[in-house]
Amino acid sequence: MREIHSQIDKIAAQTTIGETLFFRHHGVKSEAEFKRKAMQEGFISKHSHIGWNSWDETAKNVEYIYRELERRGSYITRMGFIFDWVMGVPEEYRSKLQPGTGLIFKTPEEWKAIGQIAPIQPHMSDHMIGCPNALENARLALEAGVTSLGNVSHYFTYEYPGIELERERTVNSLLAFGLMGKFDGTIVHSNLDDGYGNQFHDLANLTGWTMIERYLVEELLGASMTFSYGNLFSDPISRIVFNMVCDATNVKNTPGTMTFGNTIDYGLDFSKNYGALSSFSLADAICQRHKPTGHAVASVPVSEACRIPTADEIIDGHLCVDMMIEKAALYEPYVNWTAVEAERDVLLACGRVFFERVMNGLDDLGVDLKHPGEIFAALKAIGAEQLEANFGVGKKEKTALRGREPVRPTDIIKTLQTKQKKMFLSAGKVEGELSGKIALIGSTDIHDYGKELVKSLCNKAGAEVFDLGTYVTVEEIIENLLETESKVVIVSTYNGIALSFAKDLITALEENEMTDVVLIMGGLLNENLDGSQLAVDVTQELCALGVNCDNQMETIVPTIKKIYEGTYQR
């Protein structure tokens, strides 16, 4: 670390913070300085994320949005620019990645231009820091006057397939965080929803996770950080509670960047989406009225779920949010803040337990708890699921998803728990029905909620379930059948490969003389057949292969029982 720190000092000495139009307009030297003043004056910032892929279109629209909002008596404080993923890797590796649809900057002049379009402060978070090119991105962004940069969370989840730069990612991220720590007014941003935040089931563990990220970035690397969240927070009150949770550990009083809009509730019906926009922005505005943290209220255009929004749709969203900000002042005195604070305190208390458990676990593994690089790498290698399963604060419960009852489930998990309750009800009394029976389970893709539900039902019925995780392969299933002697393989699939996967597995079962093993498949049983563009249902073809395609939770337990009793008919 000594070397890292001396490098940080050297780079910092050669770096100067640029001046954006926004800074000049407001007479400040950083966004943090502006936010602190705004918080004192009761002014609530507003934010939009934009993602046009050409510079000309971006510049034209940003200017239009600023002028038009001004003309209509509204405002926008900051804008998040979506960068292409190739920006996450050094120049010499970019040809290995297929460029996407985001902005790509090649020269310092292009970087500097971003803060000179209109008096809107730019925010950069995608593929900036937390990636292999973190240091260069941070330096160029700071020189351009962009003082809020993310994402810490991306270190753990954003990948660049085909490019093996994990060591560079770690070193450069440490350098980038450390560099920002050398300049007052810079804010290291972490959007939890992009990282482990969307993988934890329990908000208590997520709270503990914020403490871990803060420990790394603030205590060990000397920077100031803030958390962003919101995409996955549907419940308006949980948004307020979580903001207060993050604020409670913000000992440096670093202003927040923004709270993201809740996009879970967005669909194709724009009228309903206006309702969703009003709901979350009202909650976020009430929160800022009660205890300002500097988080800007985000306006998410109602069209976002179905297309890249137009500049006018972004403007419409802001006008709607303006009304919510105005009315929030009327709601704020009547919110039961004692109850909100009690919820905050539960999360904080449990989060501290999670933090301690993880740190103790890392210490047991021999990780140097004063070395941020070691901790970052170890946490990434362990992954959110294992962290939650091993160090989570929820009570251990075999039938619970991930084996623990969340203290405060996330909104997605709440929905899943509701489904689980319904499933348990429809399955009837299953306790003990599968005692001593063994089942293998896995999913062919990243979607594991279906798998988790079936697993919890089988556990409830007393089965010994061996979970092979996501992206399961035929070879793994065969090898695990040899180890377990299971007669049942349950595969959840959503990625349109149901038939070819089943064919491969059944061939392998035959080759290994395991024809008594029954394959149960559920999820989306479809596939593109004969080169067609549209995936078609393949249930009949699967049944013809002897695969169980009931695809109903309530029949799983009796089916497994029959398989073991030898009465199951294919």
- Nearest Cα neighbor of 431 from 461, 405, 456 is 461
- Nearest Cα neighbor of 498 from 531, 539, 548, 446 is 539
Q: Is 546 in the site for another protein (CB under 8 A)?
A: no
**Pairwise CA distance, residues 333 & 344, whole Å:** 18
**DSSP character at residue 335:** S
Q: Is 162 in the site for another protein (CB under 8 A)?
A: yes
Nearer to another protein, 332 or 445 (CB): 445
Stretches 102-110, 163-171, 247-255, 287-295: which one binds another protein (CB under 8 A)? 163-171
Q: Is 199 in the site for another protein (CB under 8 A)?
A: no
Amino acid of residue 284: D
Which of 219, 326, 475, 510 is in the footprint of another protein by CB under 8 A? 475
For residue 2, give both structure tokens: 């000594």
Look up tokens 């000594």; give the residue: 2
Length of the chain: 570
> What is the 3-class SS of 445-492, one letter each residue?
CCCCHHHHHHHHHHHHCCCEEEECCCCCCHHHHHHHHHHHCCCEEEEE
Q: Is 467 in the site for another protein (CB under 8 A)?
A: yes
Nearest distance from residue 481's CB to another protein, in Å? 8
Q: Is 483 in the site for another protein (CB under 8 A)?
A: yes
Please list every residue from 420 through 439 that binds another protein, using CB under 8 A. 438
Nearer to another protein, 308 or 529 (CB): 529
Q: Is 370 in the site for another protein (CB under 8 A)?
A: no
Please list every residue from 279 through 338 that binds another protein, using CB under 8 A. none
Please list every residue from 487 through 506 that binds another protein, using CB under 8 A. 493, 495, 497, 500-501, 504
Asked if 201 and 401 count as a contact pair (C-beta separation under 8 A), the reply is yes
Q: Is 473 in the site for another protein (CB under 8 A)?
A: yes
# residues contacting another protein (CB under 8 A): 37
Nearer to another protein, 411 or 504 (CB): 504
Q: Is 374 in the site for another protein (CB under 8 A)?
A: no
Q: Is 159 in the site for another protein (CB under 8 A)?
A: yes
Q: Is 480 in the site for another protein (CB under 8 A)?
A: yes
Nearer to another protein, 108 or 469 (CB): 469
Segments of 512-559 assigned E as strands? 518-523, 526-527, 536-537
Nearest distance from residue 410's CB to another protein, in Å? 25
Task: Give the 3-state secondary structure percentages of the chain, helix then strand then coil, rounded to 5.
Answer: 50, 10, 35
570 exposed, middle or buried (CB, 10 Å; 0-12, 13-18, 19+)? exposed
CA–CA distances in Å: residue 127 to residues 18, 26, 37, 177, 350: 21, 28, 30, 14, 32
Q: Is 531 in the site for another protein (CB under 8 A)?
A: no
Nearer to another protein, 363 or 475 (CB): 475
Amino acid of residue 52: W
Which of 59, 97, 320, 474 is in the footprint of another protein by CB under 8 A? 474
Nearer to another protein, 426 or 507 (CB): 507
Which of 485, 511, 516, 530 is in the footprint of another protein by CB under 8 A? 485
Counting Cα atoms < 13 Å in the Cβ hemisphere of 254 gives 29
Look up tokens 């393949």; give the residue: 538
Stretches 238-246, 259-267, 273-281, 462-470: which one binds another protein (CB under 8 A)? 462-470
Nearest distance from residue 557's CB to another protein, in Å? 18
Parallel, antiparallel, or unpaired: how do β-strands 438-443 and 258-259 relate?
Answer: unpaired
- The residue ranges that bind another protein (CB under 8 A) are 159, 161-164, 166-167, 381, 438, 444-445, 464, 466-476, 478-480, 482-486, 493, 495, 497, 500-501, 504
